Amino acid sequence: MHVPEETIGDRLVRSRRRRKMTQEGLAESAGLCVDVVRKLEQNRRLNARLSTLNALARALDVELSYLLGQPSTFEARGEGESPSVLALRQAVSPVTELLGEDADPEGPPTVAALRASLRSTEVIRREGRMGEIGVVLPHLIRDARIATRAYGGADQAAAYAVLAEAYQVAATTLAALGKEDAGFTALERSLDAARHSDDPHLETVGISSLAWIFTKQGRLEDAERVALATAERIEPGFRSRPVELSLWGVLLLRAATAVVRQEKYDTVEDLLNLAASAAARIGRDRLDYATPFGPTNVGVARVNFLVEMDKSAEALAEARAVRQVGTLPPTWRARFHVDRALAFADVGRDDSATGALLTAEETAPEWMRYHSTSRRLVAELRGRERRRTSPLAELADRLDMGG
């Protein structure tokens, strides 16, 4: 049996013993069957639903990212400037703000230059090129912050808009690396910058990202609350523009993600229906603030939620009905294929699961190496595979997985 160097079960055992809990005590605190805990700890199961892992993380008082074992830093690069988590942290929380900003010898960048840099960053982000984000983003945050201090009036407000979006990208990048607390700090700064900007939608976009970070932290009730409260505040009317419908729909999907992991399935269906009605009013797929919304994204979300609810056969049927996946950014498409792979694996179609994983890797190869669910699924499938060499084994090698 192929087992990675450290599994969810290994981390579960270590955390449980540190809390001086028995398997039975942990299962009771998490509201789970003790057999689930035993199988994970014995590496007889290498994967579990996120609702299960959230419950275990909460019972153990650890971050979900710790149990998942997701990569916590950027990969090394062969040439050029290396991405750095420390540099990103320093950009988000610079010591110069405590000691007083140093004079900038180069002069502030123009608003046009800042916007061009932000557009480039958004392309990199959609394609999941994490290393490049780690290199570019600290410079963009620094430049935008300098511009907010150098300019006044409309140019200052425009610079704050760029700064708000740059902080938001920093927040989601840090959270993807398991640094949710640093991501929360970046989101706070994003929301503050948004209030000084010339874009009335940026605060809503920031709240949407905040809900995602709360979900990553396992703060599911908080994620649901902030998403729904904001959705209620901006609920569109008859004359609402497509961008307003889109942002409202994204908030509903953020709330539904938190709700499904709380296993409140009736509420999930209600939120999906509302999001679907918003998508139908728009009539096509949109991309606003680097986030897609429309009929396709609602269909993809439905597949994800069915996988979460252990309705794998239904998820596969729904996946076949999603026709316009190519309209989504690469990272969204890759996640859709990972959900298909999870469903295939659950119904015992391991070859199809491997094929879906390989499609995901082809779509967003670097994103795949940072995606903890993909890595867990590869480990599970390798644990069931008898061959030493196979496309799945080669994928595990490319993901730099031990075992």
Give me the pLDDT at residue 2, please.
45
The C-alpha atoms of residue 198 and residue 153 are separated, in whole angstroms, by 10
Give me the pLDDT at residue 378, please.
92
Give me the pLDDT at residue 46, please.
74
The C-alpha atoms of residue 219 and residue 9 are separated, in whole angstroms, by 22
Q: Using one digit for the tens of pLDDT, what is the confidence trace for 50-99?
A: 778 888 888 888 877 788 776 777 876 666 677 888 899 999 998 876 66
Mean pLDDT across the stretch 325-347? Answer: 96
C-beta separation of 378 from 401 below 8 A: yes
pLDDT above 90: percentage of residues in the chain: 62
Q: Annotate 34-52 with DSSP letters as a single string.
A: HHHHHHHHTTS-----HHH
φ, ψ of residue 199 to 5 degrees: the values are -120, 110
Mean pLDDT across the stretch 154-183? Answer: 94
CB atoms within 10 A of CB 170: 28
Mean pLDDT across the stretch 40-52? Answer: 81
Task: Pick the more confident residue, 46 or 79.
Answer: 46
Give me the pLDDT at residue 158, please.
97
What is the pLDDT confidence band of residue 400, given thresholds at 50, 70 and 90? confident
pLDDT above 70: percentage of residues in the chain: 94
- Residue 232 gets which letter from DSSP? H
Q: Can you give the pTM of this predicted structure?
A: 0.87
pLDDT at 153 over 90: yes
What is the pLDDT confidence band of residue 104, given thresholds at 50, 70 and 90? low
Highest mean pLDDT out of 36-50, 66-80, 300-314, 376-390: 300-314
Q: Using one digit for the tens of pLDDT, what is the confidence trace for 232-257?
A: 999 999 899 999 999 999 999 999 99
Give me the pLDDT at residue 344, please.
97
Q: Using one digit for the tens of pLDDT, what is the confidence trace for 105-145?
A: 567 889 999 999 999 999 898 899 988 898 999 999 999 99
Q: Using one digit for the tens of pLDDT, what is the confidence trace for 23-35?
A: 999 999 989 899 9
Q: Using one digit for the tens of pLDDT, what is the confidence trace for 194-220?
A: 999 999 999 999 999 999 999 988 899
Mean pLDDT across the stretch 351-363? Answer: 97
Beta bridge partners of 287: 292
The C-alpha atoms of residue 375 and residue 360 are separated, in whole angstroms, by 12
Tokens coding 278: 């918003």
Give me the pLDDT at residue 78, please.
63
Domains of the chain: 1-69 (1.10.260.40), 72-199 (no CATH), 200-321 (1.25.40.10), 329-403 (no CATH)
